[in-house]
Amino acid sequence: MTKKEIVKTISEEIGLTQLKTKEIVQKTFDAIVETLVEEKRIELRNFGVFEVKRRAARKARNPRTGAKVFVPEKFVVTFKPGKEMEERVRELERRAAAEALSCEQREQEQDVVPGVDAAPEMQAPPSPSSPSPSPLASSSSGAPSDGHDALPSAPSQPTYFGGDNPGS
């Protein structure tokens, strides 16, 4: 969501013009930034805490060249979400997990074909008297295949093309 979308949503909810709402939203952001610069910390109850932290100078390595590089100290803004935000995000995770599980269960139900007792890999292996399956029917791992990964069996003797066949 962009600042423009935030302004539009708020202006529709409270009945102010977008221009006036934009001014209020911008002043709020400016106040947050100004407080961070001056006090290095701002706590917004039920939302979270913004804090300016110092990252110490360190030695690093350029991943392309492998050369050692000195990285100077710098200040970064960190954010720790409040309890309410954490809980709402956890609820989002729980809903996503439940949806994934539900989707997986639907897929498993669709994989069951009426009249077939089990998947091919779950059925008993063919008896020695029955013909072996085609090499295109399954991959070497025994998993069902679309036939693109199967290779024909190698001939028992090398095949020679041309007149230099040592077997003739």
Pairing of strands 68-71, 58-61: antiparallel
Assign 112 to helix, strand or coil: coil
- In whole angstroms, give the CA distance from residue 165 to residue 158: 10
Res 153: pLDDT: 52
For 31, 37, 63, 144, the CA distances from 76, given in Å and listed in that order, are 18, 11, 23, 53
| Helix-strand-coil split of the chain, %, nearest 5 | 40, 20, 45
Res 140: pLDDT: 47
Assign 106 to helix, strand or coil: helix
Res 131: pLDDT: 53
Pairing of strands 74-81, 58-61: unpaired
User: Domain-by-domain residue ranges, the chain?
Assistant: 1-39
* Positions in the chain short of pLDDT 70: 112-168
Write the pLDDT tens digit of every residue in 111-135: 765 665 555 555 555 555 555 555 4
- In whole angstroms, give the CA distance from residue 62 to residue 70: 10
> Which stretches of the chain are DSSP H helices?
3-14, 18-39, 83-111
Q: Name the residue type at position 129.
A: S
Residues 75 and 53 sit within 8 Å (Cβ to Cβ):
yes
Write the pLDDT tens digit of every residue in 93-109: 999 999 988 888 888 88
123-152: string of b/e by CB count within 10 Å (b at 16+)?
Answer: eeeeeeeeeeeeeeebbeeeeeeeeeeeee
pTM of the predicted model as reported, rounded to 2 decimal places: 0.53
Res 123: pLDDT: 55
